[in-house]
């Protein structure tokens, strides 16, 4: 049976998660459980860690477009979240414990956010106005504004965004 591109990428990610878990187990002289892995992350998020469930979720669209970065950065980033929780309990998501794991265990620069091209995964956006001009909100955020659940401020001028 021939393995297609997405299956091969999923296999590589899963294998690299196992490598990272084994590396951490050796570093701490402690066995860490292998997390469940799925490829159901959506939107602009490359991946996420569900701490209590010991699960890693990877975005298949971003993974296929950025497989080397997933293997070199994203996997270690997410495994470090799980390890920080298992070692220290509830700590700041990108705090000193997580940063130390990234640097000391995996030798990876502890970047908080990715700068991958997300044009393939960005959903519908709606225009809002502020003193700076037009700002686009996702349909989810727009619906929260319409239902009067949430208001959003411009990150530059601080003004509350108004529907265009």
Burial 17-45 (b: 16+ CB within 10 A, else e): beebbebbeeeeeeebeebebebebeebe
Q: How far apart are CA 129 and CA 117, in angstroms?
A: 25
Q: Note the maximum CA span of the chain.
A: 58
Q: How far apart are CA 98 and CA 25, in angstroms?
A: 16
58: left (phi over 0), alpha (psi -120 to 50) or beta: beta
Q: Are 136 and 126 in contact (CB under 8 A)?
A: yes
Told to judge if 78 belongs to the known catalytic residues of this protein, a careful annotator would answer yes
Number of other residues whose CB lies within 10 A of the CB of residue 159: 13
Name the catalytic one among 73, 78, 104, 159. Answer: 78
Q: Which residues are catalytic?
A: 78
């Amino acid at each position: 049976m021939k393995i297609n591109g997405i299956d091969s990428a999923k296999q590589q990610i899963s294998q690299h998660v196992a490598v990272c878990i084994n590396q951490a187990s050796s570093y701490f002289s402690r066995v860490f459980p292998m997390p469940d892995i799925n490829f159901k992350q959506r939107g602009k998020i490359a991946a996420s860690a569900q701490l209590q469930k010991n699960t890693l979720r990877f975005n298949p669209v971003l993974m296929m477009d950025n497989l080397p970065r997933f293997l070199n950065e994203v996997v270690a980033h997410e495994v470090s979240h799980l390890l920080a929780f298992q070692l220290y309990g509830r700590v700041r998501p990108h705090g000193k414990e997580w940063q130390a794991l990234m640097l000391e265990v995996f030798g990876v620069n502890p970047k908080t956010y990715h700068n991958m091209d997300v044009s393939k995964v960005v959903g519908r956006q709606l225009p809002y106005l502020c003193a700076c001009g037009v700002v686009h909100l996702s349909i989810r955020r727009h619906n929260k504004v319409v239902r009067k659940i949430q208001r959003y401020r411009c990150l530059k001028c601080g003004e509350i965004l108004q529907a265009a």
